[in-house]
Structure 1
Amino acid sequence: CLLDDLSDLCDKVFFQDYHTVSMDFESDLSQSTEYKSFRSTVPLKQVVVDNDGLKVWKLYDAGPRGVRCPLICLPPVSGTADCFYKQILPLTARGYRIISIFNYTDSAPVFWMLPATLLKKMIIGRFPRKLMDSQIADSIDFMVERLESLNQSELASRLTLNCSPAYIQPQKVQVEVTILDVFDESALSQTVKEEVYKCYPSARLAHLKTGGNFPFLARADEVNIYIQVHLRAYEGTDKSATDSGTPVER
């Protein structure tokens, strides 16, 4: 019975050591039918944002083109635009337009001196190394794979933006705000979370019992429900993320 219990446990939890990931690593999510369907149906677009053609934004734009106020998804430091494929596929099928953007900037005054390998270790070092359920483990595997695709300039610019002091004056945010948070361990400290709550005291709180650092992958169904609930407040207005002629499924 003990062996059976251990076997069941091994089917549900994993221990990950992301410091030993090779360049040939392929995650289960990137090999999934859902991800392959996304890559085959939603084209990756490139937009040049300067005159010399060196700065390029990569993005996925899916859903009704008539929507003028789409849902914008910005990936974390370790991710690329395709990390939101679990939102893009189901939500566009319900009539929403979604744009997922991976942008590049060369403003990296400190990190540009460090090699890409060291920059990747700085990011991977924030990932948990302990027992976790399979969906959270798969989400980290996928993001580590995305991280391996970033070059030194992209990593340096992202880390610079992530570490630069910045402050949004919440009183100037004149839209509904929903804060999605998880109760289990993540890279964000409790202090940072509490500061966000203080900045947006009127925000709706969407809590997930678990989800790790990437709940949009590990708990995609729950995240998508919260997104739809948030966007319903704008249906029928000029801020709607759906085409006015496309009914949204409930």
Structure 2
Amino acid sequence: MSYISDLSQSQEYLSFRSSVPLKRVVVDTDNTKGWRIYDCGPKKVKCPLICLPPVSGTADIFFKQALALSAKGIRVISAEAPVYWNVKEWCEGFRKLLDYLEVVKVHIFGASLGGYLAQKFAEYTVKCPRVASLILCNTFTDTAIFNNHESAAIFWMLPGLVLKRMIMSNFGSAKVDPEMVEAIDFMVERLESLPQTELASRLTLNCLKGYVEAHKLADLPITVIDVFDEYALSNAVREELYKCYPNAKLAHLKTGGNFPYLSRCSEVNLHLQIHLRQFDDSDLSSSDRPLINRC
């Protein structure tokens, strides 16, 4: 890496890395590919919250959610996929990961590409549901918004430096506060750690022609977390998401940029708790604590 961000040297992050082991889980026949996960909270919970990162993120970007929510008895798993070149392969790999973890259903918190893949997985397993609910952050339902369908076929051959520059061009240049600067620096650091093949595969998933058949998810409890300042996607994309899920609960953040789970972690964590609270005292609870003990 070219530099070390302040956030990766913070006591909170260092505490996370020292207390929560990074696990590599191989679920495919190709033993060279493994999911990287951090599993926090009570392992007896069988309907955890799983966090899926954007193109530029690694599994540890959700450390603020993992620490805060697991302290309240919620099981939080942050998952980073190996190289997959199409959405169906990714969904099948994720299904195998859930089987390995011995969880029947999960709540998914997905950011950007992670949110899109969460929706596609819910659609993929609609006949045998594996998704209890969705929390979608700064995400989309149709890859047409990127106007990169043709480019998706050549990402695999582009140098890593070119791919990183493509991604960083969407990080924004508007005036931001110190928390957002820290978040951007941390995400740049994570991006620098990703090898070319992983970046290429993620960008391919992000830009391959595809869309979510939202009507198949009509019965899922969904919360949409959005920011109202500058971020990589347009207002039209946000409005399209609202139209696809007219019954979704909307959690608006005044600011937060592309990475509110880092820059506005307290607000995001609160919305995650509110969303998960509706499943308390049911088989779909993400916590092992009785409702009376929770704030």
User: Do both proteins adopt the same fold according to a TM-score greater than 0.5, normalized to the shorter chain?
Assistant: yes
Q: Alpha-carbon deviation of 1:188? A: 1.0
| 8 Å contact kept, 2:74–2:287 | yes
Aligned match of 1:33: 11
* Distance of 2:8 and 2:32 partners within structure 1: 28
Determine helix, strand or coil for the equivalent of 2:278. Answer: helix
Aligned match of 2:131: none
Matched, 1:71 2:49: yes
* Distance of 2:282 and 2:180 partners within structure 1: 36
Equivalent position to 2:77, from 78, 81, 99? 99
Q: TM-score, normalised by structure 2?
A: 0.75
| 8 Å contact kept, 1:74–1:101 | yes
Aligned match of 2:186: 142
* Distance of 1:106 and 1:208 partners within structure 2: 32
Aligned match of 1:111: 155
Q: TM-score, normalised by structure 1?
A: 0.88
Aligned match of 1:13: none
| 8 Å contact kept, 2:279–2:285 | yes
Q: Alpha-carbon deviation of 1:99? A: 0.7
Q: For residue 237 of structure 1, what is the amino acid of its counterpart?
A: S
| 8 Å contact kept, 1:184–1:209 | yes
* Distance of 1:83 and 1:35 partners within structure 2: 9
Aligned match of 2:203: 159
4+ residue segments displaced more than 6 Å: none
Q: Which runs of structure 2 are paired with 1:31-70 in the superposition (5 Å)?
A: 31-70=9-48
* Distance of 2:235 and 2:293 partners within structure 1: 36
Q: Alpha-carbon deviation of 1:245? A: 5.5
* Distance of 1:74 and 1:51 partners within structure 2: 23
Q: For residue 284 of structure 2, what is the amino acid of its counterpart?
A: K
Of stretches 238-247 and 27-36 in structure 1, the one that deviates more from structure 2 is: 238-247
Aligned sequence identity (%): 57
| 8 Å contact kept, 2:281–2:290 | no
CA RMSD, 1 decimal: 1.4
Highest CA radius of gyration, 1 or 2?
1
| 8 Å contact kept, 2:5–2:182 | yes
| 8 Å contact kept, 2:74–2:288 | yes
Write the deviation string for residues 81-126 of structure 1: whole angstroms up to 9, x where unpaired.
0000000001000000011100022427421110000000000011
Equivalent position to 1:216, from 261, 270, 295? 261
Q: For residue 205 of structure 2, what is the amino acid of its counterpart?
A: L
Q: Alpha-carbon deviation of 1:167? A: 2.5
Q: For residue 238 of structure 2, what is the amino acid of its counterpart?
A: K
Write the deviation string for residues 33-91 of structure 1: whole angstroms up to 9, x where unpaired.
00000000000000112223111110111111111110010001000000000000010
Determine helix, strand or coil for the equivalent of 2:83. Answer: coil
| 8 Å contact kept, 1:72–1:100 | yes
Number of residue pairs the alignment of both structures matches: 228
Gaps of 5+ in 2: 86-151
| 8 Å contact kept, 1:94–1:248 | no
Equivalent position to 1:240, from 285, 292, 295? 285
| 8 Å contact kept, 2:214–2:244 | yes
Aligned match of 1:201: 246
Equivalent position to 1:182, from 222, 227, 231? 227
Gaps of 5+ in 1: 1-22
